[in-house]
Structure 1
Amino acid sequence: MITYPANHGTVVVASRSANAKQAVQALAEGLSHDHLGGIIFFCSAEYDLEGLAAALVSAFPTVPVSGCTTAGEITPQGYDRGSIVAIGFDRRVFALETALVDDLDRFALSDAQPLVDGLIERCRRQALAPVNEHSFALTLLDGLSSREEQVLATLDAALGRIPSFGGSAGDDNHLAHTHVYARGRFHSRAAVVVMINTCLPFEVFSTHHLMPLSHKLVVTEADRERRRVVELNGLPAARVYADLVGVEPYTLGPSVFARHPLAVQLGGQHYVRSIQRANADGSLSFYCAVENGIVLTAMQPAPLLDDLNNMLQGVTARLGQPSLMIGCDCFLRRMELEAVQHVEQASTLLRQSRVVGFNTYGEQHHGMHVNQTFTGVALGTLPTLGK
């Protein structure tokens, strides 16, 4: 068991026990206190999820619990795998309200607005801080649903001025089954929205370390529903991409995709559209939406550690030393760090800034679904609470 002590309204506990019941017992021992008002967790998909859900219900019968499966965890020790990490929120400092979207395919603005209005009203009743100025939303989505763009845009319209961030659930890089957790069980093809109102200062952030090159690729044939690009520049997509990055198509895989991402330019900003896999028919499957006519820009990575360090230092300069940061970090960034053997250095930076969170199949920032970013929220400090 690894813990952060209670500090400015949060407690963090992580367990590496592979046994679901024992892992939750460790969480309960570290998180439980008289003012516990809510829990958010991130866990390896290797757990017995049915057993984990039952153990969470038994351990926290009256406390709202939300979470998701991951492609790796960020614990108080830095990057980890095969673990569970949980954050407990003190209700004297945080009002947490949660909603489950259990039908992503039919979710529309007519569903989003009452959902958000309900979250806001329930937070307002707890009278911690003015809701519109002192709240943010965390979104956790099934990372294989292919519905992120539509759901996030709809939620963002309903949230208005309230900032949001989040991540798509993972499954330890198997790309088979991802889950979110709410109402006592794990769900697929679903999303969880957590509204957090707090008297602490906070900053929602997003960063990436990728720089645009001059090479442009036009999507000339795409299967939008399956996020699959069949042709780039009028030729088989996998062959065009392989030629661009200087490899043979049969060598295409996650490590190549992590080092040679593509992005779409919107409003002067580049938003990464990461490739999920190369298919036998010569097409490319993506983690984000793709459609006919979009122009993809080849990107090259700058030093990831430098970008991460600069972002963390910038947040600290603006906010003061964070009491906690919740981070949603693309699993392709972690793969890049592993490839160049910089995981320990990155873990040190994350530890120093008290980052906890998970590796995602996609990140969410102000209604945008993006890839290969580090996105999250930094929480500031208040005078230490009494016991």
Structure 2
Amino acid sequence: MTSTPWAFSETSQPLKAASSSASDPWQAARELATQLNHPDLRWVVFFCSAEYPLPQLAQALNTEFAGQELVGCTTAGELGLQGYAQGSITALGFSQQAFSLAITLIQPLENFSLASAQQEVNQLLEISKQNFSGQGRHFAMTLFDGLSSQEELVLVALNAALGGIPHFGGSAGDDIRLANTHVFVKGAFHNRAAVLILFTTQLPFEVFTTHHMQPLETKLVVTEADAAQRRVYELNARPAAEVYAELTAIPIEQLSPLTFALNPLAVKLGQDFYVRSIQQVHADLSLTFYCAVGKGSVLTAMQPQPLLPDLQQCFARIRERIGKPLMTLGCDCFLRRLESEQQGEKEAASAFLRKHRVIGFNTYGEHHAGLHINQTFTGVVLGEGDASH
């Protein structure tokens, strides 16, 4: 298959999307490479189902993209050329004419300090300076092992080190198995690790986060918890799962990811509510969350609204500010996809993602401005702007 060179002209673009639903890793990698093939391709950001045999997928991707730098993670679902997808791989290719991507692996995550964060950020800024001619602006993306439970610690340090550089990201998934989640960098998949990507571009962009939740009157106080393990033992001085089951009017043994998606809890910071999604129920009636929840926290019961009106308003506002969108790199909580399926909104949501050229993945948690959050849609909209420099 021949491909058009990806140089800047009125008929070309500075970045390009690709997707493959092939289950064979070599075929999937070849299909991505065919779709992204052009002389200016320098970096590829990809998101893949955890169903792939990861060592073979790594080998296939490294072979097919021998001249490019690859970074990515496993998912709880993909956002690709067809909208919502599962069991697939999706990717975004970046031209060296329009972008610089400076990438680093953060491992180990434990005891990650502000000094370490500053060192990593400074190195990435230096690489960007060498890669990118012209006066570009920066934004940062983080990808985490979604079962590492280290997001809060690392994100706070990185946010301080990034200063005014806008930041977003997502935590890797494994198709809701809650067994192994991975990030990919330096030619291999890693767990107990994170990736920091510093993007530099002259294209207009806006980093955003949005959710479709409305607060209810009900408040629950966390009276016993282990914040480091994200485990809540008591709500209102009673077993946590018991209180939550009463709130939802669903028996404890029937609590499921769908229950958690349709009956979220949130903490209020300033004037904004941030969802703290439940991951699982334990035999001792404690609850593990996807985000840290400390003793003394007040959780507010939230009521999901229809997904689409919030997304439509969010994207319309961004378009007013940055002009016509070119592509969106997005991190969408997997609970939102479950909810859209249950509420009969999945096809409409998929059509919206296709129309707005959203490439990304369903996450086990989203990152924005140094915060680890749940049940949001978070990302960066890249505008068309003037591609020449």
TM-score scaled by length of structure 2: 0.95
Q: For 1:384 and 1:119, locate their aligned partners in 2 and report how far apart those are by CA, in whole Å.
A: 23
Q: How does 1:16-55 map to 2 (within 5 A)?
A: 16-55=21-60
- Note the C-alpha offset of 1:246: 1.5
Shift of 1:29: 1.3
1:221 corresponds to which residue? Answer: 224
Render the CA deviation track for 1:182-222: whole Å, top value 9, x for unaligned: 00000001001111000100000100000111111110001
1:103-136 CA distances to partner (integer Å, 9 max, x unpaired)? 01131112111100000011011233435xx110
Aligned to 2:115: 110
Cross-structure match for 2:77:
72
Q: Deviations over 1:223-249 (max 9, x none)?
A: 222211000010000011111122211
| 1:8 matched residue in structure 2 | 13
1:220-259 to structure 2, matched below 5 A, reads: 220-259=223-262
Determine if contact 2:5/2:39 at 8 Å carries over to the other structure. no
2:103 to 77, 98, 111: 98
Residue 338 of structure 1, CA deviation: 0.4
Structure 2 portions without partners, runs of 5+: 7-11
Note if 1:329 corresponds to 2:343. Answer: no
2:325 aligned counterpart, secondary structure: coil
In the other structure, the counterpart of 1:142 is 145
Identity %: 52
CA 1:171/1:74 → structure 2, altered by over 3 Å: closer, same or farther? Answer: same
Number of residue pairs matched by the alignment: 383
- How far off its partner does 1:315 sit? 1.7
Separation (CA, whole Å) in 1 of partners of 2:133 and 2:372: 30
- 1:367 is aligned, of 351, 367, 370, to 370
Say what the alpha-carbon RMSD is for the aligned residues. 1.7
What's 1:83 paired with? Answer: 88
Alignment partner of 1:159 out of 162, 169, 184: 162
Equivalent position to 2:354, from 311, 331, 351: 351
Residue equivalent to 1:127: 132
1:305 deviation in Å? Answer: 1.4
Partner SS for 2:313 = helix
SS of 2:259's partner is helix
Q: Which residue of 1 aligns with 2:9?
A: none
User: Which amino acid in 1 is paired with 2:66?
Assistant: P
CA distance in 2, matches of 1:4, 1:269: 46
Separation in 2, partners of 1:127, 1:20: 33
- Quote the residue 2:198 is aligned against: 195
Judge conservation of contact 2:365–2:374 (CA < 8 Å) in 1.
yes
Mapping for residues 48-63 of structure 1, pairs under 5 Å: 48-63=53-68
Q: Which amino acid aligns with 1:190?
A: A
CA distance in 1, matches of 2:4, 2:247: 46
Give the secondary structure class of the aligned counterpart of 2:385: coil
Q: Contact 2:42/2:67 (CA < 8 Å) preserved in 1?
A: no
Q: Distance in 2 between matches of 1:273 and 1:128?
A: 42
Deviation at 1:4, TM superposition (A): 12
Matches of 1:120 and 1:130 in 2, distance apart?
13
Distance in structure 1 (CA, Å) of the matches to 2:182 and 2:239: 33
SS in 2 for 1:106: coil
Q: Secondary structure at the match of 2:67?
A: coil
